[in-house]
Amino acid sequence: MTVSSINSHDKERPILVTGGAGFIGTNFILDWLKTEKAPIINLDKLTYAGNLDNFSAISPDSMIEFIHGDIGDTELVRALLERARPQAILNFAAESHVDRSIRDPAEFIDTNIVGTFKLLECARDHWERLRGEEGRAFRFLQVSTDEVYGSLQPSQDPFREENAFVPSSPYAASKAAADHLVRAWHKTYGLPVLTTNCSNNYGPYQFPEKLIPLMIIQALSGKQLPIYGDGMHSRDWLYVADHCSAVRTVLQAGRMGEVYNVGGRNEKTNRDIVLAICAVLDAEVPRVDGESYCEQIGSVQDRPGHDRRYAIDSSKIESELGWSPQETFESGLRKTVRWYLSNRDWLAGSRQAPTGTEVNFNGLQI
């Protein structure tokens, strides 16, 4: 990765992106570099899902600096904020895999709750030292999930920002706690915060423990396409580039202290998603035996506490800020499958954790 040193003497002050080597953070940074002038500092712990190879194709003169570190490292973060004087902090850093949170919740508590608390304290200290326009312009944006709201019944309306938090998994509970902290730091200390709660993202660079890239790997390997239970668990699906544009919109125009739900208006069951993936693969890379990839679909035992349905009402961000998703599910899925087919080396490399140990794909995130 090319690194440009960024400091407070740059013409435009940078933004600090935490967790920028992960799936959504990567896409956000690549999108930002195409559309905005402010430099970026990418602070990432580089856990198994972080990958600096995601940035191998960026221009050598791109204004991006990488810092290997943890949002919970207060000394590091304070020094970074003092040196770079960022105009905003965007917190993408999170442990996000539900199955992993069920098996080992400790890391989720440490990163998503304690880490967010420490980052908030560093941000508050930084903000309180800013003067004039720098202080008025500063923002802390928390990137969160619709899973904090719990599960919907088939007849219930999609989640709105006013819905109570009813998290079901350790992951969802840790993100709900983090969101509460962000709101409290605004109400108690006046910290200028914004929060986005998004639906299921999909697109390039997603670590292949998640449903769509996992199904692509399994299909191309001739293995079973495992679907939890009856496959009728329903989610709203959001193409990651649309999510990135929503985050940029909220950062630039969102009302202080407000929460904005971000969805794709693409509510699909897990079985529908897998069938759609198979249809695209059938068209792009047909099986040598002429059969459909659908023949590989199978059912596996459901996971504990599996929420039945999520759906997002995005009317607030659409009406207040003029944002709307640009991709249909069909167009976004086609782009996604084609990206993975064109980047099989990335896909193969991502199956190795940074420690060199094989990642376990028996669990799947859906």
List pLDDT tens digits, range 52-90. Answer: 999 998 987 789 999 999 999 999 999 999 999 999 999
282 assigned to some structural domain: no
Q: Give the CATH number of the domain where residue 68 resides.
A: 3.40.50.720
Residue 3 has pLDDT above 80, yes or no: no
Residue 359 has pLDDT above 50, yes or no: no
Query: Of the listed 65, 73, 147, 307, which one is catalytic?
Result: 147
344 assigned to some structural domain: no
2 assigned to some structural domain: no
220 assigned to some structural domain: no
- Structural domain including 156 reads 15-203+238-265+308-326
Residue 147 appears among annotated catalytic residues? yes
Query: Of the listed 65, 146, 307, 327, which one is catalytic?
Result: 146
- Going 331 to 334 to 337 to 340, the CA torsion angle's sign is negative
210 assigned to some structural domain: no
Query: Of the listed 65, 70, 149, 171, which one is catalytic?
Result: 171
4 assigned to some structural domain: no
In this predicted structure, what is the pLDDT of residue 188? 98
Residue 70 appears among annotated catalytic residues? no
339 assigned to some structural domain: no
DSSP letter string, 312-350: B--HHHHHHH-------HHHHHHHHHHHHHHTHHHHHHT
280 assigned to some structural domain: no
Which residue type is seen at 159? F
Number of structural domains (the chain) is 1
List pLDDT tens digits, range 160-218. Answer: 999 999 999 999 999 999 999 999 999 999 999 999 999 999 999 999 989 999 999 99
In this predicted structure, what is the pLDDT of residue 116? 98
For residues 176 and 355, the model is more confident at 176
